[in-house]
Amino acid sequence: MTHPNSTLPSGNAASLHQAKTNTLRREDSALLRGEGCFGQDVVIPNVCHIAFVRSPQAHAQLLGIQTDAALQIDGVLAVLTSNDLGQHSLPTHNPLLPVTQDTTFPLLALDRVAYVGQPVAIVVATSQAIAREAAGAVTLTLHTLPPSNDFASEDATTRTQHRSGQMPTNSAHVVEANIRSPRVSAMPMEPRACSARVHGIDATTDVESPHRITVWLGTQTPSRAQADVARVLNLPTEQVLLISPDVGGAFGAKASVSPEDLLTALTAQHLQRNVQWLASRSDDFVAGMQGRGSVLEGRLHVNAQGLLEGLWARLHFTLGAWLPFSAVVPLRNAARILPGPYALQHIDIEGMATRAHAAPVNIYRGAGRPEAALLMETLIEQAARRCDIDPVELRKRNLIAADAMPYTTPTGEVLDSGDYALALHKACEQFAYTQARADQTQRRREGEMVGIGMALYVEPCGQGWESARVILHEDGRVTVASGAPAQGQGHVTTFAQLAADTLGCAPRQVEVHLGNTELCPAGTGALASRSTAIGGSAIVQACRTVLARREGGEALPITAEEKFTASEAWSYGCVIAQMRIDVDTGTPTIERITWVDDAGHVLQPQLVHGQLIGGAAQGLGQAMMERLVYDDQGQLITGSLMDYAIPRADTMPPIHISSMHTPSPNNLLGAKGVGEAGCIGVPAALMNAARDALSPLGEFDLQLPLTSEQLWRVLSTHFEKETP
């Protein structure tokens, strides 16, 4: 046993936390053996199952609910409506942007419905299968109203704006882009699930429980979910135990509670029965939290030397019928980070969000950052073509210099650190850019359509606070509890390593608790790529407190609890992609991707690599194939995996990643975020690669996803025009 007090805390995070290589993830042994406990694996005794009767229409008056047929099905225990459960509303939204409309929305429909999939009634049954079958036997009397895919557009739900300087009136070039990002589905491996156990029914086991209810919910924000459940159940927060078990992917879609989550808990309280809800893939498609959904218009003013003179942009995000907690975040992020890594003094950026008769939209991996990068990087490459300057050269002339850090952008953001030009240089070197351009020229001569596209991106990684509790026990064991849960990132491995390094013990001596409101201090949660930078710093701080008190002679066990508050750390990077487009069929082939990412100081290179690749796969999905489509009646017509394409192993191109490590001065670890980078940089680079491939033919209005159909239409229209 290594005694912790043999190691003094060091002020130099970078030297203390040397990157470890080939650390096996602690999580994996159980997960690979099927011994994990995901939301859908939670087993509670005497449970009854629920399924939701959902609105089949996007907008209608709700005139009646006929439950008789469902109640006659064997095994159906109850059908509950808002008459039974009372009127409850969904939690309010994040105040990061002011919302100017009344967005109060009922948990269960009252007298009208506002999206297909909206929960209208709850069927309670002895099995999941019976509950689902009986839900289909409930009929609704609806008076159809016209749905809007953009309601209240005259009167925005929320707005944001940034203005600085004067837009130039006499620029040599003004390039324009209109970028529409379709809605996408987060598509975790595990659909949502919520289980609620009521305490007090079984006095032999639960007599001592300080909790009235335990709720198992795969969530990125256990503390907020606990408070949301408590509010709806009208209980003191501490009487709700919220457990986020293993989570099979979240990506923002599990960051805010949904009506189904809260209704599961409410049904349990109402019936004083244990209740489980397991979403199907269809439930998640139709009523889970969707991502993206924006139209971004931009104009970039450039002088004859390719220097950026001004950026004008109008951003429009279309949200769903109700606002999840983080719904306003993508608009806010897109607007504030739009200039990206470029030095620009004159900006005029306005953004607004409206609502539609459609499923809710929330943050989704990147949360506004991908949209911003897509618009800015499309404009940059158009400017390069218009100025007839190589896109690398044009970028070099405009990047914020490393010695200008920390740099305050015209939107008021403070970029903490980084060397953007070096990232571009390294990426070009790894890609063999000069050679690649020569090869491209040759291949074009031979009739091939091949493009090289790049994107630089910034990834602001969360701000605010996270918590940690560290206990040093008498036998040398250490307990770490964090407010940041995990959804596959491997936080248990990282946090154990971090505490072991700081305390000077072996990682195996460290037990880590996450995602449990009883075992963990109240926290912010795992989102916006912030857990290592902020949550990790809280752990280091708590470990240092333990050491200081130990050195002061305090007897064991010692418990230290700390909150760490940080300003944002800004990751960044450069992606270069090469794409071939088949001239006859439009089929795009991504030949290779080279990527340089700077996530600051890295604790676990393998985990970082995994997150980058995962983000790239998700970004590639959005770029090449994913798209949720609603028809005029507000029906989702891509509501299954037969209609909605996602990337598979065989769609992944070779990706060459290398890293830079510019430490952030804004936290104890020098760490920055990494989870969202792939979703931000990859789609923009692929868009630019496709546009570059087509550029000998002209400029085209390409949009994501870059399907072979879209590319074929562009090509056939072009060649039709050519034919006399």
> If residue 437 lies in a helix (H) or strand (E), which one and from where to where?
helix 433-445
DSSP annotation string for 171-219: -SEEEEEEEEE--EE---SS--EEEEEETTS-HHHHTT-S-SEEEEE--
How far apart are CB 528 and ligand SMO at their closest, in Å?
Answer: 4
Nearest by Cα to 306 from 439, 414, 405, 397: 397
Count the Cβ atoms, other than its own, within 10 Å of residue 298: 23
Number of residues interacting with ligand SMO: please give it, by CB under 6 A. Answer: 9
Regarding 515 and contact with ligand SMO (CB under 6 A), the answer is no
Alpha carbon 178 to its chain's center: 23
3-state secondary structure of 670: coil
Residue 430: exposure state from Cβ atoms within 10 A (0-12, 13-18, ≥19) = middle
Shortest Å distance, C-beta 254 to ligand SMO: 8
Write down the residue that tokens 């200039």 correspond to. Answer: 339
Nearest approach in angstroms of CB 1 to ligand SMO is 38
Q: How far is the CB of 111 from ligand SMO (least distance, A)?
A: 34
Q: Per CB under 6 A, which region of 1-9, 361-369, 600-608, 620-628 contacts ligand SMO?
A: 361-369
Angle between the N-to-C axes of helices 605-624 and 677-694, in degrees from 0 to 180, rounded to the nearest 10: 40
Quick one: which of 426, 722, 380, 372 has its CA closest to 574?
426
Which C-beta is closer to ligand SMO: that of 301 or that of 365?
A: 365
Give the residue, chosen from 49, 212, 224, 365, that forms a contact with ligand SMO under the rule CB under 6 A.
365
Shortest Cβ 198–ligand SMO spacing (Å):
30
Binding piece for ligand SMO, criterion CB under 6 A, among 203-211, 360-368, 558-566, 611-619? 360-368
Binding flag, residue 674, ligand SMO (CB under 6 A): no
- Residue 461 found at the interface with ligand SMO (CB under 6 A): no
Cα angle 605, 609, 611 (rounded to 5 degrees) comes to 120
| 331 near ligand SMO, rule: CB under 6 A | no
Strand ranges across the sheet with 139-144: 112-113, 60-66, 139-144
Q: Write down the least CB distance from residue 363 to ligand SMO, Å.
A: 4
Residue 593 in contact with ligand SMO, rule: CB under 6 A: no
- Longest CA span, the chain: 91
Given a contact cutoff of 8 angstroms between Cβ atoms, the answer to whether 119 and 50 are in contact is no
For ligand SMO, the closer CB: 322 or 364: 364
Helix (H) or strand (E) holding 621: helix 605-624
In this structure, what token pair is assigned to residue 106? 């009922």
E strand or H helix at 266? helix 259-271
Closer to ligand SMO at the Cβ: 251 or 285?
A: 251
| CA–CA distance, 67 with 78 (Å, rounded to integer) | 9
Q: Does 363 bind ligand SMO (CB under 6 A)?
A: yes
Residue 308 binding ligand SMO, by CB under 6 A: no
For ligand SMO, the closer of residues 329 and 547 by Cβ is 329
Residue at shortest CB range from ligand SMO: 252
Measured from the CB atom, is 52 or 570 closer to ligand SMO?
A: 570
Give the tokens for residue 723: 């034919």
Q: Does 367 bind ligand SMO (CB under 6 A)?
A: yes
* Region near ligand SMO per CB under 6 A, out of 363-371, 488-496, 556-564, 659-667: 363-371
Residues 154-173 that bind ligand SMO (CB under 6 A): none
Ramachandran angles phi, psi of 71, nearest 5°: -65, -20
Q: Which of 115, 317, 322, 364 binds ligand SMO (CB under 6 A)?
A: 364
Q: What's the min distance (Å) between Cβ of 255 and ligand SMO?
A: 5
Residue 255 binding ligand SMO, by CB under 6 A: yes
487 vs 502 by CB, closer to ligand SMO = 487
* Residue among 256 and 497 whose Cβ is closer to ligand SMO: 256
Q: Which amino acid is at 720?
A: E
> Residue 276 and residue 127: Cα distance in Å, rounded?
10
User: Pattern 224-253, binding to ligand SMO, x per CB under 6 A?
Assistant: ----------------------------x-
Handedness of CA 108, 111, 114, 120 (dihedral sign): positive
Residues 522-561: x/- map of binding to ligand SMO (CB under 6 A)?
-----xx---------------------------------
Shortest distance (Å) from residue 349 CB to ligand SMO:
21
For ligand SMO, the closer of residues 364 and 495 by Cβ is 364
Alpha helices of 274-353 — where are they, by DSSP H? 281-287, 329-337
| Both tokens assigned to 659 | 């890293």
Does the footprint of ligand SMO cover residue 590 (CB under 6 A)? Answer: no
Instruction: Round to whole Å and give the CA distance between 23 and 546.
Output: 25
Report the nearest approach of ligand SMO to the CB of residue 364 (Å).
5
Which region among 35-43, 210-218, 256-264, 357-365 touches ligand SMO (by CB under 6 A)? 357-365
User: Considering beta carbons, is residue 247 or 538 the nearer one to ligand SMO?
Assistant: 247
**Calpha distance 461→248 (Å, rounded):** 22
State which amino acid sits at residue 205.
Answer: T
184 binds ligand SMO (CB under 6 A): no
Backbone angles phi, psi at 496, to 5 degrees: -65, -45
Q: Kindly state whether residue 372 participates in binding ligand SMO, applying the rule CB under 6 A.
A: no
Q: Which residues bind ligand SMO (CB under 6 A)?
A: 220, 252, 255, 363-365, 367, 527-528
